[in-house]
């Protein structure tokens, strides 16, 4: 793989607020079956997580009730761009969940089987055709260009429980249930952190905001959304620039332009390794900003290491959008760490992995409730009955029955040389702050997600 291609995809993924997946032995027709360990257990214990009970367990399922469902197993697809990114977070999560669930007895006695659907950045439609042929549902995955596959998914009436949805056609599309949404159709859920930064924490920065964005269609769209929100909140943008996706060999000119423009608050849309190099240039010229919104793609240990002395010199913040920080002592977070240590030692738990885990929990709980007659209609409608879903305590409560308008909660982490820590952002609901609503977008910066009607289908066609 050429370095320029890898950089291109990393930028696309970062702007879309996502990332993708990983390993396994060869499977049939592009699918890789994730090894879930020992398979079903003779144990009578059920799998509980956080405040959720009996997520998985033994049972007496006996029918082949739907495509991908037999008396012995349930096959689901896990979308990923593993062939391009080598990022294993979704596959790692699938391995941990299916291993844990199957040891407890599976879903009413059926073994849960996860097939990796490697979309390789440009092949979501090809993988979706395969998923339509074999899988009962899609669970806990994501693809940077997921809009390329959504029409095919709706045509074959395939329910989706994604870890994250990215493109406008995909996020919020029909037959999709997002347990912890990373993108809200028609809304900008980053209005909370921007309001806090500019009106409360660093009010002098409001008159000197900078934007630095990768030069690609998807990133430009997100840039348009950010620009619209910032201006709507009363900000003055003094610097607004693009950088080439092919890579930047010297970030000094960008740093000099930021300094000469007097930027005090910077919204950066790009990969965290690129941001670390920009900050190195800024720090070397002794220019300290009030804040840098690094985007939550940077919420990892690698970014801290790459920052070097900039970790303390600059003020990097990220909005986790209502997901509990890995640094917190929340029981659900501690449970998740223990499960990863047991079933995938050495694998990194990321923000997308936490969202994926919540999606797996939601799917498994709904599938368990459906019993022997497990159908797509049952699992989809049962999941949509959750009105305060927290993934067992991993994130703020989301109303899956009425997802719009979205919940308004956010939480902010800041980078230090010692690691990530909570910022003083005015939490009013445990770990979160929930008093600033998500901002509704204008027609110029939003478009409707795809519906069943767009492909000549309706809910009456779902079996």
pLDDT digits (tens, 9 = 90+) for 179-216: 998 888 899 989 999 999 999 999 999 999 999 999 88
Query: CATH code for 190-320+408-445?
Result: 3.40.50.2300
Nearest to 351 by CA among 391, 305, 310, 404: 391
Q: What region, left, alpha or beta, does residue 61 occupy, with left being phi > 0 and alpha being psi -120 to 50 degrees?
A: beta
**For the whole prediction, is pTM greater than 0.75?**
yes
Residue 28 has pLDDT above 50, yes or no: no
In the chain, CATH 3.40.50.2300 sits at: 3-185+330-401, 190-320+408-445
**pLDDT tens by residue, 345-371:** 999 999 999 999 999 999 999 999 999
User: Is there a cis peptide before residue 405, judged by omega within 30 degrees of 0?
Assistant: yes
Distance CA 212, CA 279 (A): 12
Q: How far is CA 260 from the centre of its chain?
A: 35
**pLDDT tens by residue, 372-426:** 999 999 999 999 999 999 999 999 999 999 999 999 999 999 999 999 999 999 9
Distance CA 79, CA 118 (A): 6
Distance CA 261, CA 264 (A): 9
Q: Quickly count helices (H) and strands (E) in the chain.
A: 14, 16
- Tell me which residue has tokens 């934007």: 211
Contact present, 79 and 119 (Cβ < 8 Å): yes
Q: What is the 3-state secondary structure (H, E, C) of 170-187?
A: CCCCCCECCCCCCCCCCE
The stretch 272-284 carries a mean pLDDT of 97
Distance CA 225, CA 168 (A): 12
Q: Tell me, what's the pLDDT at 85?
A: 83
Distance CA 141, CA 39 (A): 22
Nearest to 17 by CA among 415, 297, 227, 243: 297
Contact present, 78 and 34 (Cβ < 8 Å): yes
33-42 per-residue burial string, b: 16 or more CB within 10 A, e: under 16: bbebeebbee
What is the overall mean pLDDT for the chain?
Answer: 90
Coil, helix or strand for 194? Answer: helix
Q: Tell me, what's the pLDDT at 219?
A: 81
Range of lowest pLDDT (30-34, 52-56, 251-255)? 30-34
**Residue 10's pLDDT band (cuts 50, 70, 90):** very low
Q: How many residues does the chain have?
A: 463
**Residue 13's pLDDT band (cuts 50, 70, 90):** very low
Antiparallel, parallel or unpaired: β 265-269 and 291-293: parallel
Antiparallel, parallel or unpaired: β 31-33 and 111-118: antiparallel
Contact residues for 339 (Cβ-Cβ < 8 A; gap 6+) = 96, 100
Provide the token pair at 317.
Answer: 């913040």
Distance CA 25, CA 128 (A): 20
**pLDDT tens by residue, 222-246:** 899 999 999 999 999 999 999 997 7
- Write the class of the CATH domain 3-185+330-401: alpha beta
Question: Is residue 420 within a helix (H) or strand (E), and if so which, with residue range?
Answer: strand 419-422
Coil, helix or strand for 265? Answer: strand
- Tell me which residue has tokens 């693809």: 143
Considering only residues 39 and 283, tell me which one the structure prediction assigns the higher pLDDT. 283
Q: Tell me, what's the pLDDT at 45?
A: 66
The stretch 19-43 carries a mean pLDDT of 39
Contact residues for 345 (Cβ-Cβ < 8 A; gap 6+) = none
Provide the token pair at 436.
Answer: 């600033």
Cβ neighbourhood burial of 199 (10 Å; 0-12, 13-18, 19+): middle
What number of other Cβ atoms are within 10 A of residue 144's Cβ?
Answer: 28
Residue 76 has pLDDT above 80, yes or no: yes
């Amino acid at each position: 793989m050429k370095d320029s291609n890898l950089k291109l995809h990393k930028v696309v993924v970062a702007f879309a607020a996502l990332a993708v997946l990983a390993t396994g032995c060869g499977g049939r027709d592009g699918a890789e079956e994730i090894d879930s360990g020992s398979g079903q257990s003779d144990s009578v214990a059920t799998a509980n997580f956080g405040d959720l009970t009996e997520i998985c367990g033994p049972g007496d399922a006996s029918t082949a009730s739907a495509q991908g469902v037999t008396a012995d197993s349930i096959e689901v697809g896990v979308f990923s761009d593993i062939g391009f990114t080598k990022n294993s977070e979704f596959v790692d999560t699938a391995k941990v969940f299916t291993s844990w669930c199957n040891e407890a007895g599976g879903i009413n006695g059926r073994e849960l089987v996860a097939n990796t659907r490697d979309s390789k950045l440009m092949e979501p439609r090809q993988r979706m055709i395969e998923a339509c042929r074999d899988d009962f549902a899609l669970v806990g995955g994501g693809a940077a260009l997921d809009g390329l596959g959504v029409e095919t998914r709706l045509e074959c009436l395939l329910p989706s429980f994604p870890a994250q949805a990215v493109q406008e056609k995909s996020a919020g599309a029909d037959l999709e249930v997002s347990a912890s949404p990373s993108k809200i159709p028609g809304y900008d859920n980053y209005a909370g952190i921007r309001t806090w930064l500019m009106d409360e924490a660093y009010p002098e920065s409001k008159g000197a905001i900078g934007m630095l964005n990768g030069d690609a269609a998807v990133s430009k769209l997100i840039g348009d959304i950010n620009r619209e929100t910032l201006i709507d909140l009363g900000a003055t943008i003094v610097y607004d620039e693009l950088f080439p996706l092919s890579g930047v060999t010297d970030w000094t000119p960008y740093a000099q332009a930021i300094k000469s423009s007097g930027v005090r608050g910077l919204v950066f849309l790009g990969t965290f390794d690129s941001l670390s190099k920009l900050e190195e240039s800024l720090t070397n010229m002794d220019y300290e900003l009030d804040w840098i919104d690094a985007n939550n793609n940077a919420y990892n240990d690698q970014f801290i290491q790459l920052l070097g002395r900039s970790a303390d010199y600059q003020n990097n913040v990220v909005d986790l959008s209502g997901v509990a920080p890995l640094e917190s002592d929340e029981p659900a977070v501690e449970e998740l760490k223990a499960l990863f240590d047991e079933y995938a030692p050495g694998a990194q738990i990321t923000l997308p992995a936490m969202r994926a885990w919540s999606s797996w929990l939601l799917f498994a709980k709904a599938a368990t409730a459906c019993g022997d007659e497990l159908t797509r209609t049952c699992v989809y409608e049962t999941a949509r009955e959750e009105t305060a879903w927290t993934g067992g305590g991993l994130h703020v409560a989301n109303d899956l029955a009425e997802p719009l308008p979205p919940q308004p909660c956010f939480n902010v982490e800041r980078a230090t040389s010692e690691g990530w820590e909570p910022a003083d952002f005015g939490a009013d609901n445990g770990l979160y702050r929930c008093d600033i609503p998500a901002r509704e977008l204008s027609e110029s910066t939003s478009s409707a997600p795809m519906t069943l009607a767009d492909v000549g289908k309706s809910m009456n066609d779902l079996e």
